[in-house]
């Protein structure tokens, strides 16, 4: 198992978003706009990022 990480940044507000999208963002630990979290680069996290791709960006 690798220790690879990805940095995920919340770039859009959750106001008006679907409840399941809010829960995905909460599951990633993001709370505020422009907050960046380092998460493990595993398929589960990649799937979460894909689901809310319109709200987050992967930063380097």
> Where in the sequence is the domain holding 30, given as residue range(s)?
5-59
CA pair distance 43, 60, nearest whole angstrom: 18
Q: What is the CATH number of the domain that holds 16?
A: 3.30.1390.20
Which pLDDT score, from 0 to 100, does residue 3 have? Answer: 83
Average pLDDT over residues 36-60: 96
Q: Is the pLDDT of residue 60 over 90?
A: no
Helix, strand and coil percent figures for the chain, each rounded to 5: 30, 25, 45
Q: Is the pLDDT of residue 45 over 90?
A: yes
CA pair distance 25, 52, nearest whole angstrom: 8
Q: What is the domain count for the chain?
A: 1
Pairing mode of beta strands 56-59, 5-10: antiparallel
CA pair distance 26, 3, nearest whole angstrom: 22
Average pLDDT over residues 35-51: 96
pLDDT 10s digits, 15-37? 999 999 999 999 999 999 999 99
């Amino acid at each position: 198992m690798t220790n690879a990480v990805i940095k995920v940044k919340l770039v859009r507000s959750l106001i008006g978003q679907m409840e399941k999208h809010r829960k995905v963002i909460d599951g990633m630990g993001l709370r505020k706009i422009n907050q960046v979290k380092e998460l493990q680069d595993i398929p589960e996290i990649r799937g979460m990022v894909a689901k809310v791709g319109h709200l987050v960006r992967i930063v380097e």
